[in-house]
Amino acid sequence: MSAIAPFDGFGLGLRRTHYADFLDGEVEVDFVEAISENYMVEGGKPLRVLEQVREKHPVILHGVSMSIGSAQGLDDDHLSRLRALADRIDPLWVSDHLCWTRTSAHNSHDLLPLPLTREALDAVCANIDRAQDALGRPMLFENPSSYLTFPEDEMAEWEFLSEMAQRTGCYLLLDINNVYVSAHNHGFSARDYIAGLPLDRVRQIHLAGHEPGEIIIDTHDRAVSGGVWELYADTIAQLGPVATMIERDDKIPPLAELLAELELARSLGRGNAGAIAA
């Protein structure tokens, strides 16, 4: 399996409301991340738009439906369509989430948490091996945000991710907001979590907003919070330059607003920690 070379840059998610901005203008991003499943279709406008955006920018394919933690294994149709899309788009890399979404009977279309057990780790690793073989490339997997833990948990999430990467050769997509959310919800240290990861396997960082509360909810519907920016600055100081993007999936503002937020990430990425206060 080939390696994924580090890629240093700052990007945004491709959302329908911004299609015209990306097609008609010059958007100041180093890459664009597309939700894979939105383009795993037969034809029509979405595919044409993605191909045109690809002519201007490197593209990352980020999935939400692989269900890498499913005990029943992966969906053949999903895998073959993802392979076809990856062959067509030639992305920087293909990613999905450490989660499960479905059983053999139904699909939740939500990123559900896995028990952190040896059994779950074995199932995840077997599925990752199969996915990487089917795609002919290594993948990135994103740490999830979660709202409950399981009584049968046998290890910390960062230990699960570390062994998963070591056994399968996959890379990590580190979602700083998800670390922040889960750390609050489950009472662990976000900095311990990041320190426990194999940082040499991290190829991308996600930043997003959340809804504060007794249980923090990962909503992606607002600006990145101050606490997440601070955690990002600390992480970048350890990790060095790494592809970073802002994720906004609901209440999507004009592109200029997201580009301004991305500029803060650029500034922090250049080591200007004072940018948070500004």
Partner 1 sequence: MTDLAQRQVAFLGAILDDEAPLPSGWGDERAPGLAIYRNNYRSSLVEALRSTFERTERLVGEDAFRRAAAHHCIMHPPVGWTLDLAGAGFAETCAELFARDPDVAELAALEWAMHEAFTARNTQPLTTAEFGAACAGFTERQWEGLKLKLVPDLRHVPATYDLVRLWTSLSASNTETEPDLTPLEGARCALVWREDERPVFVIRPAWEGTALASFRKGASFGEVCAALIGTLGEEAAIAEAGAMLARWVGEGLVERLDQ
Check residue 15 for interaction with partner 1 (CB under 8 A).
no
Is the CB of 107 or the CB of 238 nearer to partner 1? Answer: 107
Check residue 123 for interaction with partner 1 (CB under 8 A).
yes
Is the CB of 21 or the CB of 37 nearer to partner 1? Answer: 37
Check residue 212 for interaction with partner 1 (CB under 8 A).
no
Instruction: Using CB under 8 A, pick the residue from 2, 26, 55, 151 that binds partner 1.
Output: 151
- Cβ proximity of 63 and 96 under 8 Å: yes
Cα–chain center distance at 247? 9
Residue found under tokens 């890399």 = 93
Stretch that binds partner 1, among 42-50, 85-93, 154-162, 197-205 (CB under 8 A): 42-50
Check residue 67 for interaction with partner 1 (CB under 8 A).
yes
Check residue 146 for interaction with partner 1 (CB under 8 A).
yes
Check residue 97 for interaction with partner 1 (CB under 8 A).
no
Instruction: Using CB under 8 A, pick the residue from 15, 18, 57, 78 that binds partner 1.
Output: 78
Tell me which residues in 235-264 interact with partner 1 (CB under 8 A): none
Give me the least distance between CB of 69 and partner 1, in Å please.
8
Check residue 18 for interaction with partner 1 (CB under 8 A).
no
Is the CB of 168 or the CB of 182 nearer to partner 1? Answer: 182
Q: Is 195 left (phi over 0), alpha (psi -120 to 50) or beta?
A: alpha
Instruction: Find the distance separating the first CA and the last CA of the chain, reported in whole Å.
Output: 44
Instruction: Using CB under 8 A, pick the residue from 23, 155, 217, 275 that binds partner 1.
Output: 217
Check residue 48 for interaction with partner 1 (CB under 8 A).
yes
Q: Which two tokens stand for residue 24?
A: 């008609």
- Cβ proximity of 135 and 96 under 8 Å: no
H helix runs in the chain, sequence order: 19-24, 36-39, 45-56, 76-89, 118-135, 157-168, 176-186, 190-195, 226-239, 255-269
Is the CB of 217 or the CB of 259 nearer to partner 1? Answer: 217
Give me the least distance between CB of 198 and partner 1, in Å please.
24
Quote the CA–CA distance of 195 and 215 in Å, as a whole number: 24
Is the CB of 92 or the CB of 179 nearer to partner 1? Answer: 179
For 41, 65, 81, 171, the CA distances from 84, given in Å and listed in that order, are 10, 16, 5, 21
- Cβ proximity of 27 and 49 under 8 Å: no
Is the CB of 113 or the CB of 138 nearer to partner 1? Answer: 113
The residues, ordered by sequence, that sit 6+ positions from 17 with a Cβ below 8 Å of its Cβ are 252
Identify the DSSP state of 69: T
Stretch that binds partner 1, among 106-114, 128-136, 169-177, 227-235 (CB under 8 A): 106-114
Q: Which of 27, 30, 46 is nearest to 38 (CA)?
A: 46
State the residues that interact with partner 1 by CB under 8 A: 37, 40-48, 65, 67, 70-72, 75, 77-78, 100-103, 105-110, 112, 115, 117, 119-120, 123, 146-148, 150-152, 185, 214-215, 217
